[in-house]
Amino acid sequence: MNKISLQDSDKYINEEDIFKIKDIIDRLKKEDNIEMVFHQPVDIEGLGLKDYLTIISKPMDLGTVLKNLDDGQYLKVTNALDDIQLIWDNCKKYNQEGSVLINK
């Protein structure tokens, strides 16, 4: 399989790119160290995260990225890759040192 290179990331997205990005997401979902919490939106109410939306301005998850791909919401490859990166950035931002960690 061909890889998406950084030099290609600012080009307009096409069907092959969508297939590659979905493959990336599938691989992320299969990783043992990737918790299922990244597969769907954060359950803000259920987890009692009242401050979540004051800290995180654009929530993102792998399911939303897949839906956006299917709905044609991404104009460029970089837009989809940026949203995937945003998942991890949001996690690190919200779960800063000193924050309450939820154990399984």
pLDDT-derived band at 104 (thresholds 50, 70, 90) equals very low
Q: Reply yes or no on whether the pLDDT at 75 is more than 50.
A: yes
Length of the chain: 104
10 pLDDT above the threshold of 90: no
Phi and psi dihedrals of 76, rounded to 5?
-125, 155
Q: Residue 32: is its pLDDT beyond 70?
A: no
For position 56, which CATH number holds? 1.20.920.10
- Exposed / middle / buried, residue 90 (Cβ in 10 Å: 0-12, 13-18, 19+): buried
Range of the domain at 74: 11-90
- pLDDT score, position 100: 58
User: How far is 9 from 28, CA to CA, in rounded Å?
Assistant: 19
pLDDT tens-digit map of 40-66: 999 999 999 999 999 999 999 999 999
**Residue 100 forms part of a structural domain:** no
Q: Which tokens hold the place of 60?
A: 């993102």
Mean local confidence (pLDDT), 80-89? 95
Per the domain annotation, does 98 fall within a domain?
no
Q: Which two tokens stand for residue 75?
A: 């104009």
Residue 93: the pLDDT is: 94
pLDDT at 8 over 90: no
102 within domain boundaries: no
Q: Is residue 73 part of a domain?
A: yes
pLDDT above 80 for 1? no
SS3 label, residue 54: helix
Predicted confidence at residue 14, as pLDDT, reads: 94
Residue 6 within a domain? no
